[in-house]
Amino acid sequence: MSPVRSRRPGNPAAMLSFCAGLALSVASLSIAPAAHAQTSRTAAAAPAAAGSADQVPIRKIVLYRSGVGYFERSGVIDGNAEVQLRFNAEQINDILKSMVLLDLGGGRIDTVSYASKEPLARRLASFGVNIANNPSIPELLGQLRGAPVSVLVAGAQVQGTVLGVEDRQLPAAPNQPASRALVLNLVTGTGLKSIAISDISSLDILDKELAAELTKALATLAEYRADRTKTVDLRFAGQGSRRVVVGYVHEMPVWKTSYRLVIPEEQPRARGGEGGAGSRGEVMIQGWAIVENTTDQDWDNVTMALVSGRPVSFQMDLYEPLYTFRPMVPVPTIPGVMPRSYAGGIEAPRDKATVQSGGAPGRPPAAAAPAPEGAARRMRAAVAEAAADADLSGMYAGIASSEMLDYAAAAQAQAGEVGEVFQYQLDMPVSIERQRSAMIPILSATIPGRRVSIFNMADGSEHPMRGVEIVNDSNLQLLPGPISVSDGSSYAGDAQIGHVGQGDKRLLAYSVDLDVRVQTRHEHQSNITKLRIVNGLFEQTVQSRQTVTYTIRNGDEKRARTLYIEHPRDDNWKLVTPAKPDDQTQTHLRFVAEVGAGKTQDFTVAAERVFFQSFGVLDMDVPTAIAHRQNGRISEAVLGALRRAADLQAAVNETERRIRGLNEQTAAIGAEQARIRENLARLGQGSALADRYIAKLNDQETELEGIASRRTEAQSLLDQQRRALNEYIRGLNVE
């Protein structure tokens, strides 16, 4: 059997094989133009011969990994024929969405009919007793208002007509608080009786028609659950014997793959080279497809194809009738004329314009008296409500349309990973009984492969994984699935394989290599390589180097190892040692190390990264800059600029120190003056000590004036120095 790629067929029968993704509405198959309607009436005169599904048996099945299967039936009919196919109820939606009919003998496709499925809630609501919402006993009794019933209470039978169910406050019993209970009110021959529902032992509905309605509703509910299969009738109109084809898609289990990989006990000579630890030989791979027939019909000698592609497939409820929302608009009415009473009046002179109650010719009619305020308000409210409802009808129609769109979109699905379409066409017909599964061989080939060990520090183990490197150089594609590995004649372990295209290389790990140990040592270094001044800031160039040393010890004294090292990949770092990886993935760099039998070997992976840091010019002192100059990181021009900026900053610092000294003097004099004024307040005027204090205050005031003048000058100088420093640094660019 040789898998082949999908290709476009050139004949109608083959074309049907590719209709799995085609969704034709059944309406397009059952609605015909006027000319067809006339011939239909003619055909109706000749009843179609009924046939079973065996008349058009399943000839071809295409299973997809997206969870659907395409089924193609083909058979011979004669004249006007009707074919009945049975499907599970949950498959009907897919059938209505995808069924394709072809009459290859020149006949015509007539109607496709099936039993309608009315929503269960709507069917239950049509009965005299509505049990759609699973009503409780009180709710059910509420629906029986006006119906005669017979209830059994405390061994006594009570008959009456249901008046209703009431939530009643019960009187408090001795040593018990008041409580509430639901009671059934019955109208009996002796009057109105109230019976607590909790006291009713049994209830009979005496109205036979109403009791029959409840029985029918329960039977409908049971039938809805039990009805699992549906019949679809296909009608063909034509003359003579001819072949017809029926194709459709419905949900099926995803077909699965599993593989067997056999590694020879002794590595053969490599292709074009000598064998060895790192040489590639050949391994044998065998693939099986696991197919389940979950239908209720045997697959007998059907042509089968297994497709790895994933066409867009979704579900939509086309089977259940959809009822749209329609608003309830009140009937427009005209308010009635209210009765009126008139007071007596005096006739006016005839030469003046008057309004007669009889309405003489040429005179205006009498004006109607205003309606009472309550009636007018009710009339305006009714008219406004009717107008509002009428105006909202368009909006309700829009809402209904949007609900239908939501109904359709909710079932829509978007395509996920759309793999390359690759089809395994089985050479021999397949027979699988219903509700049975089968393993079908789909490939057997030898491909290049070699034993390897795989180490990834993220696994958290010092032992690498034992595995095999394979190259898919066949014309086949390997699909995802488990793979059982045999090393020579013994089982070695299990692995998992992803999608492997033609020419792709993969690593498979199937066990732990206990003979090999790997230890890692991490080192990190950062060095400043250059400093320059850019826009008044020091720009520091830093070169970081990360080194990971893998120490590999091969404890196997007889066999060498080819070790794949999976090193974390970070594109922000540049690989230095080795110059380039042997392989790489989205997350890892792969390096190959050859370790001899019983040997220990170091493998070093080093990467570098250069980044920049910025900080203020004055954040570095001159001695540190001199040290950088001696190491060649700073030029003489940068050092000179830093010294100039440091001198300007020193001048600013000196002026700020002077101002702080003047402020301290002012504060000290102020404190002394406060002490003197306190003493003067105690001494009073006229004493020698008071005169002395006053003289001292005068001297201090003179001194404060001098300090204030010097502080003003110093502050002006400080502002000038700060401006000079900022202007110098702001435009400073020195390499």
Among the three residues 511, 539, 569, which one is the final residue of a domain in this structure? Answer: 511
| CA-atom Rg of the chain in angstroms | 49
96 in any annotated domain: yes
Do both 472 and 492 map to the same domain?
Answer: yes
Q: Given this model, what pLDDT does residue 354 score? A: 40
346 in any annotated domain: no
Residue 260 half-sphere exposure, CB side, CA atoms within 13 Å? Answer: 13
Do both 555 and 698 map to the same domain?
Answer: no
pLDDT bin (cut points 50, 70, 90) of residue 49 is low
pLDDT bin (cut points 50, 70, 90) of residue 392 is very low
Lowest mean pLDDT: which of 287-301, 409-423, 509-523?
409-423
Do both 686 and 650 map to the same domain?
Answer: yes
Q: Given this model, what pLDDT does residue 229 score? A: 78
Q: Given this model, what pLDDT does residue 4 score? A: 37
Q: Given this model, what pLDDT does residue 257 score? A: 92
360 in any annotated domain: no
Residue 204 pLDDT exceeds 60:
yes
698 in any annotated domain: yes
Q: What are phi and psi of 677, to 5 degrees?
A: -65, -35
- Residue 451 amino acid letter: R
Do both 505 and 538 map to the same domain?
Answer: no
Do both 457 and 592 map to the same domain?
Answer: no
Q: Are 240 and 105 in contact (CB under 8 A)?
A: yes
Do both 656 and 694 map to the same domain?
Answer: yes
Regarding predicted confidence, which is higher, 371 or 584?
584
Regarding predicted confidence, which is higher, 188 or 13?
188
Residue 363 pLDDT exceeds 60:
no
Q: How many domains does the chain have?
A: 6
Q: Given this model, what pLDDT does residue 551 score? A: 96
28 in any annotated domain: yes
DSSP 1-31: ---B-----SSHHHHGGG-TT----HHHHH-
Residue 652 pLDDT exceeds 60:
yes
Mean pLDDT to the nearest integer, 639-651: 88
pLDDT bin (cut points 50, 70, 90) of residue 59 is very high
Do both 629 and 725 map to the same domain?
Answer: yes
Lowest mean pLDDT: which of 150-159, 259-268, 536-545, 574-583?
259-268
d(C-alpha 155, C-alpha 153), whole Å: 5
Do both 100 and 246 map to the same domain?
Answer: yes
**pLDDT, tens only, 604-632:** 999 999 988 888 888 888 888 888 888 88
Model confidence pTM above 0.75:
no
**Mean pLDDT, all residues of the chain:** 78
Residue 74 pLDDT exceeds 60:
yes
Q: Are 317 and 119 in contact (CB under 8 A)?
A: no
Give the residue numbers spanning the domain of 197: 148-168+181-206
Do both 715 and 694 map to the same domain?
Answer: yes
Q: Given this model, what pLDDT does residue 404 score? A: 32
Do both 195 and 63 map to the same domain?
Answer: no
The token pair that represents 175 in the structure block = 């040593």
Residue 173 pLDDT exceeds 80:
no
Q: Given this model, what pLDDT does residue 362 score? A: 44
Q: Are 434 and 297 in contact (CB under 8 A)?
A: yes
Do both 499 and 520 map to the same domain?
Answer: no
312 in any annotated domain: no
Mean pLDDT to the nearest integer, 651-657: 91
1 in any annotated domain: no
Q: Given this model, what pLDDT does residue 338 score? A: 73
Q: Given this model, what pLDDT does residue 174 score? A: 73
Residue 554 pLDDT exceeds 80:
yes
Task: Please give the span between the terminal C-alpha atoms of the chain, in angstroms, as a whole number.
Answer: 73
Do both 453 and 391 map to the same domain?
Answer: no
Q: Given this model, what pLDDT does residue 48 score? A: 59
Regarding predicted confidence, which is higher, 284 or 368?
284
Q: Are 16 and 56 in contact (CB under 8 A)?
A: no
Q: Given this model, what pLDDT does residue 13 score? A: 36
80 in any annotated domain: yes
The single residue listed with the structure tokens 């372990």 is: 493
